[in-house]
Structure 1
């Protein structure tokens, strides 16, 4: 597992300590993926499916997790791509910041 995935799992676990109703997959280009669901946050396996998949490069995810970039702004600016349920993505974005 890459250092970026390990750090992202830790950061997301802290931000979402109250849990998350739904499932989301963060696909970090060139690094791997993370699953967020009712069980918590973990590195994703290849077969893991989610209600929504959010894809971006590592720099974009790091900026979102650090609170430097709003997830909605990243999506509107084309830096974050969505595949799946927009409502789940919006709930998650509200929790991230």
Structure 2
């Protein structure tokens, strides 16, 4: 299974039917693909489609793994440019617990 497929599967399980985000969030891994979390409606839908989002998080798959494993602090990653947020930073902060583990 590819990294993208494995991460998509983990996020789908973490998001469940209703993540409480209430918005559309995109994880953009550049050439490695995208994950679109549509939490604007219940049930929430997670896919590898590209589309408009309220918040886009631009990060490499390696840095996302480090964040999920607690090896990289989200604020440090943001300040070092390893993580970029386009849109509502508050939504991105709500996403952090879903990515842990």
Tell me whether the two structures share a fold, i.e. TM-score over 0.5.
Answer: yes
Q: When the two structures are superposed, what TM-score results if normalisation uses the length of structure 1?
A: 0.78
Quote the residue 1:40 is aligned against.
Answer: 45
Structure 2: gaps spanning 5 or more residues: none
CA gap 1:12/1:72 in 2 versus in 1, 3 angstroms: farther
Alignment RMSD, CA only? 2.1
Q: Paired residue for 1:57?
A: 60
Higher alpha-carbon Rg: 2
Instruction: Give ranges in structure 1 of 5+ residues lacking alignment.
Output: none
Structure 1 Cα separation of the partners of residues 46 and 69 of structure 2: 17
Alignment partner of 1:44: what SS? coil
Q: CA deviation at 1:23?
A: 1.3
